[in-house]
Every structure is written in structure tokens, then in C-alpha cells.
Amino acid sequence: MSASERGKIVRPYGDTTGDGRVQVSFTLPVPFGTPAERARAEGAAAQLAAKMGLEPAMVVHAKGMGPDYTFFIVYGRVSHLVDLSQVTVVEREFPLLSPAEVNLRIRTGLGRKLVVVGACIGTDAHTVGIDAILNVKGHAGEKGLEYYREIRVVNLGSQVAVSDLVAAARAEGADAVLVSQVVTQRDAHISNARDMSAAFDAAAASPAAGLRRPLLVVGGPRFDPAMAAELGVDKIFGKGTTPGEVASYLAYALTPDGGGAAVEDAAVQDAAVQDAAGAVRESAAAGAGAVRENAAAGASASRAASAASAAGAAA
């Protein structure tokens, strides 16, 4: 194996480089009360870990979770290798834009405000995700979509029925629909996303519905960004997504040729403004320094004159 090939193959790191040691956690429906139950529970965890390929497997932590469940942390070695050349990731297909660039692209490309309708659908009552993207306070140091002057945001909140989401998108003339899914038990986020896309496709196919299909975007910590086509949506955002990424994507997807030259000119102008502001700050700092130096020199001269006058008086 060549040096370049070795660089593509890695093993887990635990105590020493390449020792293959990993730590996993899981819960089993076994009690952890009496000493006999604890011994049996840890034996069950070790058996499962061995079947998972951990050898030797050590149960390093166990804690009862109510009367009938136990949580475990197991440490052990695996023989599997990771081939980095076979790892596939979804690359970002759009440039990250500043809020000013997003606003300019929308204004130039659409000639009106871009309308976004957001919600948590099904039984999901966790609005932390959708609020982080939509609310003006934003997330991770970035302002939410409400901050953008060329985006009109309609946040429907939590536990919104798919039929109500379709109706709201029609009433608001939505260009994009954003759905956040935090509840993932029994893959509820997957089925909800499929139901949503099917409902919008059906509404768009019906002339009586009077709805053009908006851009469908879903996000949440357990979505796989590579599953967009499978779920029937246009874009999936995973964990760690920021409002700026979503705004940039919307501007890119809904205004594909939206004032590219104008946006570039705006970026150049913004850079020029920043440079000019920096020059002004440097000039002001230099001027202030000169004033301080002159004042210090004047004060020294004044003290010298006072000393000479005092010496003459004494003589």
C-alpha cells in the first residue's frame, strides 16, 4: 500500500493511534435494580456489543432508566477500516451571500419580496429549529430571515396540519415553504416530509387548487441531505444550518440568474466602502496621534519656560 493509499484508510482512535477502539451507547429493556438484575443487564449489554463486532467489549457505565430499562456505555475494539476515498458528501451548490447581496439578488431577480411560509408539521411542537431560521434574532450570530428586507416571512408555528400548510402557502403566494422536524420517533420526520411533498404536488396538479408548487425545503438534526429527491423536496438542511445558508439558497434557487452582475458590483462597492472607512479610521488615528504629540511638546515647552522664569527670579 502506497503512502497516498494509506492516507485514505483510517481506523478509530481510542487510547493510541489506530488502535480501533470505539465507545458506543444504547438502552436495553432490562431492569437494573437488584445485584442479580445488574449483573444480568451488564451481561446483556456485553453480548450485544460482541455481536456488534466490539472485541473485547467492556461495559464502562450502566444506569437504570426507570424500573424496566438500562442505559449503557460500552468501550471496545473493532477491526473495521474506513476508506475515505469511498466517503460521499453533499457539497453546497450555491455561494454564501451577505444579507445585502441576498436582498439585492431578490430585488433584481424577482422585482418583489420573496415570500416564505414556515412551520413544524404533524405532531412536532418543537419550534426551536424553525424559529432559529425565521425569527429576526436568528442563530449562531446570524440574523434570521425576518431581518432581510426583501423577504416576507409567515411563521405558522408548531403542530401544523399539512392541509393547513398547503392552504397557507396558497393564501400567502409562497415562493418557498420551510419545514422543521425535530421529532423523529419512528421516522416521523421522513413520513411527514413525504406527505407534505405529495400534498403540494397534488395541489399544484389540480387547476382548481390555484397553487403553483413552491420550493419545498425541510430541515432537522436527523435528515440526510442526500435524500431530497427520495422525499420529493427541493432541499434538505441538516444540523448546524444557519439562517445565512438558508437565505443564500433561497436567493440562488428562486433567482437563478438574479442580477449576478449587480450582486458582484454591490460586493465590490461594499469592499470599496469598507476600504475607505478603514482609510478614514487610520487617518483619524494618525491625526489624533499628531495632536497628542503637539500637545505633549507644548506642555514640555511650557514647563521649561516656567522653570527658566523661576530660576531667573531666584537669581
Question: Which residues are catalytic, by number?
Answer: 137
Residues 6 or more apart from 64 whose CB is under 8 A from it? 31, 32, 33, 70, 71
238: region left, alpha or beta (phi > 0 left; psi from -120 to 50 alpha):
beta
Closest CA to 106 of 273, 247, 269, 270: 247
Query: Rounded to whole angstroms, how far apart are CA atoms 248 and 100?
Result: 11
Query: Rounded to whole angstroms, how far apart are CA atoms 18 and 11?
Result: 5
Residues 6 or more apart from 130 whose CB is under 8 A from it? 118, 119, 120, 155, 178, 179, 180
In a 13 Å sphere around the CA of 115, the CA atoms on its Cβ side amount to: 11
User: Whats the size of the chain, residue-wise?
Assistant: 315
Integer angstrom CA distances of residue 311 from 116, 122, 297, 304: 82, 93, 21, 11
* Residue reference for cell 435494580: 33
Question: C-alpha angle with apex 176: 109 to 223, nearest 5 degrees?
Answer: 125
Phi first, then psi: what are they for 268, rounded to 5°? Answer: -65, -45
Query: Rounded to whole angstroms, how far apart are CA atoms 193 and 179?
Result: 8
The CA-to-CA distance between both ends of the chain, in Å, stands at 96
Query: Rounded to whole angstroms, how far apart are CA atoms 132 and 247?
Result: 13
